[in-house]
Every structure is written in structure tokens, then in C-alpha cells.
Amino acid sequence: MLLLLSSGISFLSFAAFFRHGEILLYGDAVAHINIARRVVDSLTPGPLQLGTVWLPLPHIITIPFVISDWMWTTGVAGSIGSMAAFILGALGIFRLVSLIASRPAAWLAAVIYLFNPNLIYMQSTAMTESIYLTCMIWAVKFFIEFTQGLAGKQSESASKALIRCALVLGAAMFTRYDGWFLAFVMGIVALFFWMRSAPEIRRSMMRPMLWFLFLLAIPPLLWLGYNWRVFHNALEFANGPYSARAIAEQSTKRGDSPHPGYHSPLTAWIYFIKCAKLLVGDNRWQNILLRLSVIAGFLALLRRQFRPALLLWLPLPFYIFSIAYGGVPIFIPVWTPFSYYNVRYGVQLLPAIAVFVALGLEFVRRVNYSQRSNQIANVVFFVLVGLSYISVIRGVPLALREARVNAVTRVAFEQSLAKELLHAPRSANFMMYTGDHVGALQLAGIHLKRVVNENNYESWQGGLKAPANVADYVVAVEGDPVAAAVQAHPENLKAVVVLHTMGKPKAVVYESETRKSSH
């Protein structure tokens, strides 16, 4: 039943957002789809096209679907993996709570997760949140099975759960950097539980524990090696020109104050918590679910069987540190600077809120074993969730508002540029910097193998020295590397289109006289 319910919610919501053209509003979603696309469609196709800053698993999942031109241009290719993960996440959260609490509590957790309006939107896009949340949920679920196996002195079941936990953590580490922190902490906690187990269990589980730690070390080492091989800098993803820190520095104008929470963990805490509140409730309802989950979290410390679930709160310290010291700003519309930026990060606390509100119901049910009082408690909790989510829907989900607001000028620009690029002959080649507006090529259906861009090193370097020699048309957006190259080497280039879009820099399409005369 849960499988059918989650599948129905996933597909119906996707259909609604697709119909209204809202699955490609996030610029990051467009980027994720095109990273996958260039692995199979590029002047230099192959695994080295997977990029650097974003981890590769979501792109690898997308590759089989992005081969289809229709699925690529519409953005459907990027939604499939996210939707499948959403369904698996709902199943995982139900099974996780079932391990430590009653069936009504498990259903409550699944409902909180499944019906969250912000996650429903995010799972319809090519964003990574849905995939990562699923990995985190299943990793904690397997970890709970591991601790239960240790407690019951069942080394075989504990070993299987531990290895499964490591594999899912590996997937999390290849999805988001949050997973690196999650794996590090879970590795330490797993060692703690193992060291405290009975001597015979500890001896029998020596090999599985070593395998567990080995499997956790593989993803970071592979990613560091990949960055070293491609960019000659193992930390390119952290300190390179496209890292979160570099983007934050570029987007902050000289003389502007730093983003809220900069070098202030307390302010970072306040902003992140506020963001999480707004994702599960609006107006007077924004505090209900979070407060219930926090109270249940403190009560969970008193019961051994509930303690491993506290790992679901790890996004809290991770994002506090990231905001304060990692160059990851969060802007929310109700506080300065009264804007939208990275508000979707608050959804990382949704599994913790769902599980611990459900455990709050479990605590209430255990106070009085009367069937009638338990039924009343069930109804009260489900009604609170319903009212809280209704308030979110009435105010428009925060993640959807962020996407709509930030997409206005970008989408208008890319649509205008795509319209102009379609006037070129179907055999024409282009030179364009794709780091900012690859969506124009996607909308126009121009295959990336026809585009010299920054991901094709040798052709790109040649193009920067002589743009007219490498492509039939050169697309220069004011401030990007191509515009700089055209300014330095304007020979044999003729401007054929000049685009002015409100809120975006000027774009000029040049025709190569050199290439034109050679055809």
C-alpha cells in the first residue's frame, strides 16, 4: 500500500509540475542534467566529463535517460532518479520506524515524509536532495539493525546490516558532501558500539568491521583521485573556481556585508532552523512539528533502542559549520537580506522531524495503553501534520518559491538565446561558455558535440586564442571567458545578434567569417 501511495504522489506531482513547466526552474537542475548529457554527447565524451564540484552518482543515474533527446530537452531525464529515490525514501522511513516503534508511528513518519510539499516539488526535479535523503534514511535504518544485532548477540545479522550500511553510505558520499560527514560520524559510532559489544561478538565481527571502514574510505579517495587526475588538484571541488566558497565570493559585491551566519555558528544555527521550520509549516504552524521532534529527541536519549535514530540530526551541525565557515549562505524571505537562496537545504532535517514526531506519538501511546486514548493520540498527531502542511501549501512551498523567484531572469534569457540559436544551420558549430547558461543549448536541442566549451580542454584553449577559427558561431555573454576572448581577438568575427534581457548581462552572437569562407 505504501509503495502505491508513494508512487502515486510522485507521478501525479511530477505531472503537475511538468505541465506548468516548473521542473527546470532550478539552475542546478539544468546543470545536473547537462553534466550527465555531456558524458555521452560532447566533443570529448566520457567519464571525465562528470565534472568536479558536484558528486557523480546523480549524474550517473541520469545518463541512461538523458541519451533520449526528448528526455534531455524537457528535463524528464533528471527527474526519474529523483522520483525513484523519493519512493524508496518513504519505504525506508517506514521500515526504520517499524524497527523501534509501533505501526501507527511508522505510518505517521511516512506521511510526514511523503506529503511534505517542499520535498514533493524537489523530487520532481533533477536536484540531489531526494537521492541523498533516501541514502541517509536507509543508512540509519541498517545501522539500527546493526545495533540490534549486537544487542541480541547475533553477529551474522549485525554483520550483514553493517556492510549494507556501508554500501548505502558510499552512495550518500557519491551524492552530496553531507554524506562524507554522515559517514565519518557513523564510522566512529559504529566502532563505539562494536567495542562495547560482548567479547565473542567483537571477535566474530572483526572482519566485517574492517570491511565497513574500508568501504567508507573508498568514495572520498576515489573522488580526490579523480580531481587530481582531471584538474591536477585533489581539492579542486573545495577550493577551485566553481566551489561553493568561490561562488559565494564572486557573488558578494565589494563592500557588501558577509552573508548572515558568516563566522557566526549561532546565527547560522538560527537561519538554518528557521529555514527548516518554514519547510514544514507556515505562520503560526511553523514551530509545531519541529518542536515536537526536538522534545521527542531529548526523550529518545532515555531509551537505548531510540538512540541510533539521533543520527538523523547530523545535517544540523553540518550545515551550521557550512554556513559559518564553508561559504554556503542561506537567504530566507522573512529575514535579511529578504531573498531566496539555498532555502531547500532545510529539507535535510525532514527525516529527523518525521521520525521523531513519530517517536513522540510512540511516547504518548506508551503512557496509556488504553486503545481509545491511543486512537485519539493517533488522530491528534495526524491532524497536526495535516494542518501544518496545509499552511505550507497555502503560502506556496518555500522551495518552489525559491525556484520561481530565482528563475525569472535566467529562464527569460535562455529562452531568448535559444530562439536565436535555432536560426543557425543545423550543421553549425558553436563556441560558448556553458557554466552559466547551458540551458539555452538544451532548450534549442543543440547537441553538445557541436559546442566548443570549457569542458573540452584543447579545443577550448585554442578557441580562447582565436574564436573565429574553432566555430561557426561564437556566443559571448558579457563577463564570461568567451566575451573576454572576443575582446582580445575580434578578428574575423561579425556580430549578428545582440540580446538585452532585463536583469542579465548583454549577450552577443558572432558569426565567424573565417569558417564561413571555408565552407
The reply to whether 213 and 262 lie within a common domain is yes
The reply to whether 304 and 434 lie within a common domain is no
The reply to whether 58 and 138 lie within a common domain is yes
State residue 254's pLDDT score.
Answer: 54
Q: Please determine, for residue 253, whether its predicted confidence score (pLDDT) is greater than 60.
A: no
SS3 62: helix
State residue 115's pLDDT score.
Answer: 97
State residue 250's pLDDT score.
Answer: 62
The reply to whether 242 and 189 lie within a common domain is yes
Average pLDDT on 190-211 reads 92
Q: How far apart are CA 320 and CA 273, in angstroms?
A: 9
Q: Please determine, for residue 5, whether its predicted confidence score (pLDDT) is greater than 70.
A: yes
Give 20-47 pLDDT, tens digit per residue. Answer: 999 999 999 999 999 999 999 999 999 9
411 located within any domain: no
Residue 268: other Cβ atoms inside 10 A: 25
The reply to whether 123 and 262 lie within a common domain is yes
Please check whether residue 475 is in contact with residue 438, taking contact to mean a CB–CB distance below 8 angstroms: no
Count Cα atoms within 13 angstroms, Cβ side, for 329.
22
Please check whether residue 197 is in contact with residue 205, taking contact to mean a CB–CB distance below 8 angstroms: yes
Report the CATH number at residue 465.
3.40.190
State residue 327's pLDDT score.
Answer: 84
Give the pLDDT band of residue 370 (cuts 50, 70, 90): confident
The reply to whether 94 and 187 lie within a common domain is yes
pTM score of the predicted model: 0.94
409 located within any domain: no
The reply to whether 127 and 223 lie within a common domain is yes
Range of the domain at 253: 2-402
Q: How far apart are CA 480 and CA 8, in angstroms?
A: 43
The reply to whether 359 and 426 lie within a common domain is no
Q: How many domains does the chain have?
A: 2
The CA distances from residue 21 to 24, 126, 239, 408, 436, in Å, are 7, 13, 35, 12, 20
Average pLDDT on 445-449 reads 95
Give the pLDDT band of residue 513 (cuts 50, 70, 90): confident
Give the pLDDT band of residue 518 (cuts 50, 70, 90): low
Give 292-344 pLDDT, tens digit per residue. Answer: 999 999 999 988 899 999 999 999 999 999 999 988 999 999 998 999 999 99
Give the pLDDT band of residue 252 (cuts 50, 70, 90): low
Please state the separation of Cα 405 from the chain's center in Å: 19
Q: Please determine, for residue 517, whether its predicted confidence score (pLDDT) is greater than 60.
A: no
Give 85-141 pLDDT, tens digit per residue. Answer: 999 999 999 999 999 999 999 999 999 999 999 999 999 999 999 999 999 999 999
The reply to whether 98 and 231 lie within a common domain is yes
The reply to whether 320 and 389 lie within a common domain is yes
State residue 25's pLDDT score.
Answer: 95
407 located within any domain: no
- What is the 8-class DSSP label of residue 71? H
